[in-house]
Amino acid sequence: MASNWLITGTSTGLGRLMVERLLARGDRVAATLRRPGALDDLKARHGEALQVLTLDLTDTGQITAVVDEAFARLGRIDMAVSNAGYGLFGAGEEVSDEQIERQLATNLAGCIHFIRALLPRLRAQGGGRIVQVSSEGGQIAYPNFSVYHASKWGIEGFVQSVSQEVAPFNIDFIIAEPGPTGTNFAAALDHAPTMDCYEDTPAGEVRRAVASGAFVIRGDAGKTVDAMIAAADADSPPLRLALGSTAYASIKAGLAARLQELEAHKAVTLSVDGE
């Protein structure tokens, strides 16, 4: 049976591919984007099956109105995908106040407000599923992406908490965690002005790897989208879904290191309990 979807960030990349895949299989999609016209070709091909809405997640006043409009046009939303976001590239000392505010307003606060706007609507219709697109960077961290990681770790914590709050209403979540994937993510990075003192540090190493193309990208965008759709269709999907061999390896190593560190300091940890 066809499903109704609401997806943010559909101009390019994974969001655009997801819209294409879903329309091709006969689903209906309300797609949001910041640049009007980016989906005109799909609209001409699929007509009323595609509803296009303009949304900038940094404009929190728009979010509830756009969510309400999507429900009005489609009647109900079975799957909502919080996909909009971008990367801020620079060491923590290099990024500007304005860059930090915009990164967190888009990737963290905007996603929080989008999910909050969905919840009363999903409760009223008896349930639904929300896919939050995070990244491997929601569980591990690379140098030179500090504020980006803050946004992804933050949204994962929010979703893990809210998923417990709304489970009684038949609302569930998937946190999708792709590793480096062949999209326009790198081209769309917001670059901070560089400081010479970071040239010979891990931050500088990552900067050079990205600039030279040495930063390995193994993930296939089409396969990543297909896996996300399959998870959303599943009866019992995982809360977190790592996508790609890089994501699997880096998250596994990161979790193992954290457990090792926890155990190494177990005596101190337990020593602070009261009698």
Q: Which residues are catalytic?
A: 148
Q: What is the DSSP letter of 108?
A: I
How many H helices and E strands in the chain? Answer: 10, 9
Token couple for 14: 């994974």
Q: Are 177 and 241 in contact (CB under 8 A)?
A: yes
Token couple for 106: 């888009």
Q: What is the DSSP letter of 12?
A: S
Q: How many CB atoms lie within 10 A of CB 57?
A: 25
Distance of CA 63 to the CA centre of its chain: 17
Cβ-defined contacts of 65-72 (< 8 Å, 24+):
66/32, 67/6, 67/114, 67/117, 67/118, 67/121, 68/117, 68/121, 69/30, 70/6, 70/30, 70/32, 71/121
**Residue 186 to residue 222: CA distance in whole angstroms:** 17
- φ/ψ (deg, to 5) at 181: -130, 150
**Residue 209 to residue 237: CA distance in whole angstroms:** 35
Instruction: Give 76's contacts (C-beta < 8 A, 6+ positions apart).
Output: 4, 125, 128
